[in-house]
């Protein structure tokens, strides 16, 4: 199986790449800083097109849209700027769409092709504890994106799943996270394996629970 993971240079993305490689899969990891197989800023359409051209007609069996930013963690409402909003939405929403748009021809060539979008429980409208406005809004938007993509791609046999990775002990999640990066990555991989066209459009947690929208 050929897997493409965006944002594979750290945290959950890197651990997923490590575990999938250990399982014998071919993994192509991307990172904005060029520290992985492919240098890719997911917000840049030119780089997306270059990556697609580099892949040629190589099939992608699983595309994991993991790259994202959390720029407003703990930020007071008064300190928000338009740039924080634009960068958050560009990376967490537009970047996911551009990645799927650019690589869809390769995904179509995969065997039982799947797209996994890493969102967050912070996307859920059922939870509103306040704060992190840009991050919450962007993750809610990408949840909506994934749900609608699942409808459009279902006739082609492409399954789309959206996932909450847990509150993970990473640079983004912080040391106070509930689970280790190893637990999150292994749980997500199990969820990707379980994803089928019958469950397309699902919003699941890393440990298999159905998450409230």
The token duo for 194 is 């379980």
Overall average pLDDT of the 58-70 stretch: 97
Q: Is the pLDDT of residue 208 over 80?
A: yes
Q: Is the pLDDT of residue 169 over 70?
A: no
The token duo for 1 is 């199986």
**Helices marked H in the chain — which ranges?**
11-22, 45-55, 82-89, 95-108, 133-153, 181-194
Considering the four listed CATH numbers 3.90.226.10, 3.30.365.10, 3.30.70.1560, 3.40.50.720, the one that applies to the domain covering 2-205 is: 3.40.50.720
What percentage of the chain carries pLDDT values higher than 90? 85
Mean pLDDT for the chain? Answer: 93
Q: Is the pLDDT of residue 123 over 90?
A: no
Q: Is the pLDDT of residue 146 over 90?
A: yes
Is the backbone of residue 160 left (phi > 0), alpha (psi -120 to 50) or beta? beta
Q: Do 84 and 71 meet the contact criterion of CB atoms below 8 Å apart?
A: yes
Cα gap 39→67, rounded to integer Å: 12
Task: Please tell me whether the overall predicted TM-score, pTM, comes out greater than 0.85 for this model.
Answer: yes
């Amino acid at each position: 199986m050929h897997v493409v993971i965006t944002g594979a240079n750290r945290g959950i993305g890197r651990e997923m790449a490590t575990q999938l490689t250990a399982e014998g899969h071919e993994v192509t990891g991307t990172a904005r800083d060029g520290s992985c197989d492919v240098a890719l800023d997911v917000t840049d359409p030119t780089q997306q097109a270059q990556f697609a051209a580099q892949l040629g007609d190589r099939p992608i069996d699983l595309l994991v849209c993991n790259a994202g930013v959390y720029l407003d963690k703990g930020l007071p409402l008064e300190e928000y700027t338009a740039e924080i909003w634009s960068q958050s939405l560009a990376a967490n929403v537009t970047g996911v769409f551009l990645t799927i748009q650019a690589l869809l021809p390769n995904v179509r060539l995969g065997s039982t092709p799947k797209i996994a979008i890493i969102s967050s429980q912070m996307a859920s409208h059922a939870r509103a504890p306040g704060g992190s406005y840009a991050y919450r809004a962007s993750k809610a938007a990408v949840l909506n994106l994934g749900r609608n993509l699942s409808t459009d791609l279902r006739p082609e046999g492409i399954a789309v799943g959206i996932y909450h990775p847990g509150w993970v002990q990473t640079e983004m999640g912080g040391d106070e996270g509930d689970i280790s990066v190893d637990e999150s990555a292994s749980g997500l991989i199990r969820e990707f394996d379980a994803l089928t066209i019958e469950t397309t459009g699902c919003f699941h947690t890393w440990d298999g629970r159905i998450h409230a929208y």
